C-alpha cells in the first residue's frame, strides 16, 4: 500500500522519529510551508534525569511564531529532558502542518528522481518530497545515507540517570547549580533543574544526575544492551539486577558528597534509574539525494560535550534555511547538499571533542 501526500502545498516531508531532533525539524519544515508527517516507533518518551541547555527564544526560532498567550512553553536555561520534549510536542501538536503517526516502525528507505519514501514493518509505503532521518543512535535512515558505516560505536561506558524532587533530600544544597566530580574510575554530573511547576526556588527544584561508569560493560553485554560494540538499547530498572543497584548505592554513599549521594540513593531505592550505554558516530555525509539526517542519527557525540541538543537544533534550523523557504520539489537534492555543506564539519568537530573524553575515561572501550 502506498500513501502519498496530496498536492496543493509547497511540498511534503516525512520525518522519521519524534524525539527532540525530529520535533524540531518538523517545526522548522512546517514553518517554511512543507506538509510534515512524523513517524514514531515508540508510544512513550521518558528519559529520567537527563538535562538540556535550552537557548533563549529557541521555540520562536523553530516556529517563526510567538506564543499567542505570551506563555513560554519552552523556557530557557537548564531543563529536564522530559520537559523539553513535552514543550516541543505541544508546539508540534498545535501546528496544523504537522501530523504524527505512532507507533509506526520504519524498516527501509528509498528514493527516485521524483520523490523519497519509507517502508513500514507492515509493508506500507509512505512517500513525500524528502525524508528526514531523526531516528536516533540506531538510525534506519542512516543505513540509506551511509550503508558502508551505518552503526554508532559503543564508547566503553554507561551513564546512569536519575531525577528526584529536591524536597525529598534533607542535605544542605550544593553551592552552585552544577557539579562535575571525578572519583576513582567514575565521573558524576549533577545539577539542579526547575521543579515540575517551573520553580527555581531552593527546596522546590529537582535534582538530576548522570553517573558515568566504565566498570559494568559485562552487564551491558549480558543484557543485550550492547552487541558487537553496537549500542542496542537503554537498560530500564527491570533490566538491572538488584545486586547492581545495591553496589551502586554503596558506592554512592562512599564516594559522592551530599546532596548528590542522597539523590542517587533515593532514585535507586525507588528504582527510578536508567542506564544508557554511550555510543558515538562520526559522520562522513549527512545527505543523499532527497534523504538527510539530523540529530543523533546524523552525529552522535558523548553527552559529556553538553552540546548534542544545541547541535540538533542547529541541524533543524539549517535544514529549513537550506530549503530556502519555498519547498521547490526540483531543488530538494541541491538544498540537502547545502545543508550537508553547512553542518558536516561542525558535527564532526563535536563528535571528536566528545571522543577526547571517551578516550581518557574508557581508553580500552572508546570508539576509534
Does residue 29 lie within any of the structural domains? Answer: yes
Q: Is the pLDDT of residue 260 over 90?
A: yes
Q: Which of 16, 80, 70 is nearest to 42 (CA)?
A: 16
Query: Which residue, of 247, 262, 279, is where some domain finishes?
Result: 279
How many angstroms separate the CA atoms of 234 and 144, rounded?
24
Residues 201 and 187 in one domain: yes
Average pLDDT, whole number, for the chain?
Answer: 92
Q: How far is CA 37 from CA 60, 96, 288, 296, 314, in A?
A: 21, 11, 20, 19, 21
Distance CA 167, CA 270 (A): 15
- Could you tell me if residue 367 is inside a domain? no
Answer yes or no: is 175 within a domain: yes
Kindly tell me if the per-residue pLDDT of 7 is higher than 50: no
368 part of a folded domain: no
- pLDDT tens digits for 333-354? 999 999 999 999 999 999 999 9
Same domain, 209 and 309: no
pLDDT value of residue 47: 62
Q: Confidence class of residue 70 from pLDDT cuts 50, 70 and 90?
A: low
Residue 169 lies in a domain: yes
Is residue 164 pLDDT above 60, yes or no? yes
Instruction: Pick the last residue of a domain from 279, 303, 336.
Output: 279
- Lowest-confidence segment of 61-70, 226-235, 288-297 by average pLDDT: 61-70
pLDDT exceeds 70 at position 250: yes
* Structural domain includes residue 311: yes
Residue 38 and residue 92 in contact, taking contact as beta carbons nearer than 8 Å: yes
**Final residue belonging to a domain, choices 248, 279, 310:** 279
Any idea what the CATH number is for the domain that residue 333 is in?
A: 3.50.50.60
Structural domain for 272, as ranges: 153-279
Whole-model pTM: value is 0.92
Q: If pLDDT is split at 50, 70 and 90, which confidence band does 3 have?
A: low
If you average pLDDT over residues 86-97, what whole number do you get? 95
Residue 208 has a pLDDT of: 96
| pLDDT classification of 5: cutoffs 50, 70, 90 | very low
Query: Where does the pLDDT of residue 368 fall: very low under 50, low under 70, confident under 90, or very high at 90 and above?
Result: very low
Q: Do 7 and 144 reside in the same domain of the chain? A: yes
The rounded percent of the chain whose pLDDT value lies above 90 is: 86
* Same-domain pairing of 59 and 141: yes
Does residue 138 share a domain with residue 49? yes
Residues 22 and 85 reside in one and the same domain? yes
Q: Is residue 62 part of a domain?
A: yes
pLDDT digits (tens, 9 = 90+) for 181-202: 999 889 999 999 999 899 999 9
Which has the closest alpha carbon to 300: 138, 68, 82, 72?
A: 138
48, pLDDT greater than 50: yes
pLDDT in tens, 318-332: 999 999 854 444 589
127 strand-pairing partners = 4, 117
Q: In sequence order, what are the residues at sequence separation of 6 or more whose Cβ sits closer than 8 angstroms to the Cβ of residue 107? A: 119, 120, 121, 140
How confident is residue 50, by pLDDT bands cut at 50, 70 and 90?
confident
Asked if pLDDT for residue 69 goes beyond 70, the answer is no
Q: What's the CATH code of the domain at 220? A: 3.30.9.60
By C-alpha distance, which of 75, 88, 5, 79 is closest to 316? 88
What is the mean predicted confidence (pLDDT) over 116-137?
97
C-alpha torsion sign, points 270, 262, 224, 302: positive
Q: How many domains does the chain have?
A: 2
Give a three-class secondary structure readout of the chain: CEEECCCCCCCEEEEECCCHHHHHHHHHHHHCCCEEEEECCCCCCCCCCCEEEECCCHHHHHHCCCCCCCCCCCCCEEEEHHHHHHHHHHHHHCCCCEEEECCCCEEEEEECCCCEEEEECCCCEEEECEEEECCCCCCCHHHHHCCCCCCCEEEEEEEEEEEEEHHHCCCCCCCCCEEEEEECCEEEEEEEECCCCCCCCCCCCEEEEEEEECCCHHHHHHCCCEECCEECCCECHHHCCHHHHHHHHHHHHHHCCCCHHHHHHHHHHCCCEEEEEEEEECCCCCEECCEEECHHHCCECCHHHCCHHHHHHHHHHHHHHHHCCCCCHHHHHHHHHHHHHHHHHHHHHHHHHHHHHHHHHCCCCCCC
Counting every residue, how long is the chain?
A: 368
Q: Are residues 307 and 218 in the same domain?
A: no
pLDDT digits (tens, 9 = 90+) for 210-239: 999 999 999 999 999 999 999 999 999 999
* Look-up of cell digits 577526547: 356
How far, in Å, CA of 102 to CA of 126, rounded?
Answer: 14
* 151 pLDDT higher than 60: yes
Residue 309 pLDDT > 60: yes
Instruction: Please indicate whether residue 2 or residue 359 has the higher confidence score (pLDDT).
Output: 359
138 plus 26 within the same structural domain: yes
Q: What is the pLDDT of residues 28-40, one digit of tens each?
A: 999 999 999 999 9
- Pick the most confident of 2-6, 10-14, 63-67, 142-146: 142-146
Residues 60 and 7 in one domain: yes
If phi over 0 gives left and psi between -120 and 50 gives alpha, with beta otherwise, what is residue 195? beta
Per the domain annotation, does 49 fall within a domain?
yes
Within this chain, do residues 274 and 192 fall inside the same structural domain, yes or no?
A: yes
Q: Are residues 188 and 213 in the same domain?
A: yes
Give the model's pLDDT for residue 63. 93
Q: Is the pLDDT of residue 94 over 80?
A: yes
Mean per-residue pLDDT, 144-160: 96
73 and 44, same structural domain? yes
The pLDDT score that the predictor gives to residue 364 is: 57
Amino acid at each position: 500500500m502506498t500513501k502519498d501526500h496530496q498536492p496543493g502545498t509547497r511540498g511534503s516531508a516525512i520525518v522519521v522519529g519524534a524525539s527532540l531532533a525530529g520535533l524540531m525539524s518538523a517545526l522548522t519544515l512546517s514553518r517554511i510551508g512543507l506538509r510534515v508527517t512524523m513517524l514514531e516507533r515508540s508510544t512513550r518518551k521518558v528519559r529520567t534525569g537527563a538535562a538540556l541547555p535550552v537557548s533563549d527564544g529557541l521555540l520562536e526560532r523553530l516556529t517563526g511564531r510567538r506564543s499567542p498567550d505570551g506563555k513560554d512553553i519552552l523556557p530557557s536555561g537548564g531543563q529536564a529532558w522530559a520537559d523539553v520534549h513535552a514543550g516541543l510536542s505541544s508546539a508540534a501538536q498545535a501546528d496544523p502542518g504537522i501530523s504524527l503517526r505512532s507507533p509506526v516502525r520504519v524498516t527501509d528507505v528509498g528514493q527516485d528522481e521524483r520523490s523519497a519514501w519509507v517502508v513500514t514493518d507492515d509493508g506500507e509505503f509512505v512517500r513525500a518530497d524528502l525524508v528526514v532521518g531523526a531516528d536516533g543512535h540506531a538510525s534506519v535512515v542512516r543505513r540509506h545515507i551511509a550503508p558502508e558505516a551505518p552503526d554508532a560505536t559503543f564508547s566503553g561506558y554507561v551513564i546512569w540517570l536519575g531525577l528526584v524532587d529536591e524536597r525529598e533530600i534533607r542535605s544542605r544544597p550544593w553551592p552552585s547549580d552544577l557539579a562535575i566530580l571525578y572519583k576513582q574510575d567514575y565521573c558524576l554530573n549533577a545539577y539542579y533543574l526547575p521543579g515540575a511547576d517551573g520553580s527555581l526556588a531552593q527546596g522546590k527544584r529537582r535534582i538530576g544526575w548522570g553517573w558515568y561508569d566504565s566498570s559494568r560493560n559485562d552487564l551491558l553485554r549480558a543484557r543485550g544492551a550492547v552487541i558487537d560494540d553496537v549500542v542496542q538499547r537503554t537498560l530500564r530498572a527491570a533490566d538491572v539486577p538488584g545486586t547492581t543497584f545495591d553496589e551502586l548505592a554503596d558506592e554512592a554513599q562512599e564516594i559522592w558528597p551530599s546532596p548528590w549521594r542522597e539523590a542517587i540513593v533515593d532514585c535507586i531505592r525507588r528504582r527510578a534509574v536508567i542506564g544508557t550505554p554511550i555510543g558515538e558516530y562520526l559522520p562522513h555525509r549527512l545527505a543523499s539525494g532527497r534523504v538527510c539526517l539530523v540529530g543523533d542519527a546524523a552525529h552522535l557525540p558523548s553527552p559529556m560535550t553538553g552540546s548534542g541538543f544545541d547541535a540538533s537544533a542547529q541541524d533543524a534550523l539549517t535544514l529549513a534555511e537550506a530549503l530556502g523557504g519555498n519547498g521547490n520539489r526540483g531543488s530538494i537534492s541541491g538544498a540537502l547538499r547545502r545543508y550537508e555543506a553547512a553542518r558536516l564539519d561542525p558535527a564532526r568537530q563535536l563528535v571528536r571533542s566528545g571522543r577526547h573524553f571517551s578516550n581518557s575515561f574508557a581508553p580500552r572501550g572508546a570508539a576509534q
